[in-house]
A = this chain, B = another copy of it.
Amino acid sequence: MNSTQQKQPVSADEAQNSNFVTALSRSAEITEAVLERVLPQPSGLHARIHEATRYAIFAGGKRLRPFLVLQSAGLFGVKPEWAARTAAAIEAVHTYSLVHDDLPCMDDDDLRRGRPTTHKAFDEATAVLTGDALLTSAFGILSAPATHESGEVRCRLVQELATAAGSDGMIGGQMIDMLAPTGAFGAEEVILLQQLKTGALFEFCCVAGPILGQAGAKDEDRLRSYARDIGLIFQITDDLLDELGTTEKIGKTAGKDKSQGKATLVSLLGVQAAREKAESLARRAALTVAPYGKAAAELQELPIFLLKRES
């Protein structure tokens, strides 16, 4: 038998999945190349902040948010360099939020992406400053002329990010999350929490494409709808992993929400109903981007990938 005969025939489903996984890892490479270039190399008396910043961000991770930026930009023929820089900026913001959320005074986590969290590998003060530096760098990246030829477009990105990441976006969500163990939260409160804490940043990622491509309000609205569904699917599958996964597989401490007595959509709806909700959102998300045809193939695949993920 030769090697060709040894291979099992690949199903259409698997082939599609394999394209998706390739696209996802390609996005990560593109984003990390920009981050490598724009983040300072360790130097000077303050080299420690550069080291910690690089430790925090070059830690693997799926780079799902950059993927969304690059895919949404792909729908509108955006220059690859512009999209890649925007992807790098959002990953900096996402990483900052993880570094601060992991602090002892917040979620107090020792493990992130399978490694010691930044305050464990360095110290708390350095971790606070690392988050601050990553957040600041994101705005520096977006506002630089290399991110778009139009200053107006760059300013729109900065504004959208400030809104998505601000006190009525991601930070507001984290604030609610800190209050969650003491609040008797129902499904409505949990959905609001998640829309702010994770959904707002997903929305930025998806709307970045039409903004960079100057596509207009209709496309922006469509991509925002898609983002809201994806954000909720992501959160439900995250909660399912926290409920059912192992620390080894997910690379962070499993079972935290339950042990902290936090309400999640899974604890409120039950595993089965939560999974069905996610599946229904996945169908809707795929339909939302169907009008973009073949260019949206990966965006249509993403909800299926999220439903199947094990980490």
Contacts and interface: CB of A to CB of B under 8 A. Distances in A.
Contacts of A1: none
A69 to B, nearest CB: 18
B46 A136 contact: no
A176 B139 contact: no
A137 B129 CA distance: 18
A139 B164 CA distance: 12
Interface string A91-105: 000001000100101
Nearest to A150: B151
A139 B135 CA distance: 10
A49 B151 contact: no
Interface string A19-63: 000000000000000000000100011101110010000000000
Contacts of A144: 155, 159
B45 A166 contact: no
Contact of A45 (B50, B158, B179): B179
A154 B157 CA distance: 12
Given A126-B178, A129-B174, A143-B143, A49 B167 contact: yes
Contact of A48 (B126, B135, B158, B179): B179
A173 interface: yes
A193 interface: yes
A49 B145 CA distance: 33
Secondary structure type dominating chain A contacts: helix
A92 to B, nearest CB: 11
A241 interface: no
A103 B128 contact: yes
A155 B154 CA distance: 7
Interface string A117-147: 0000001111011011101110110111100
A50 to B, nearest CB: 6
List 6 tightest A-B contacts by C-beta distance, closest first: A151-B151, A140-B162, A105-B124, A151-B152, A143-B158, A46-B172
Given A40-B167, A100-B128, A144-B159, 18 more contacts: A40-B168, A45-B192, A46-B172, A49-B172, A96-B132, A132-B135, A133-B166, A133-B171, A135-B135, A139-B161, A140-B158, A140-B159, A142-B158, A143-B156, A143-B159, A145-B155, A151-B155, A158-B158
Interface of A: 40, 44-46, 48-50, 53, 96, 100, 103, 105-106, 123-126, 128-129, 131-133, 135-137, 139-140, 142-145, 150-156, 158-159, 161-163, 165-168, 171-176, 178-179, 183, 189, 192-193, 196
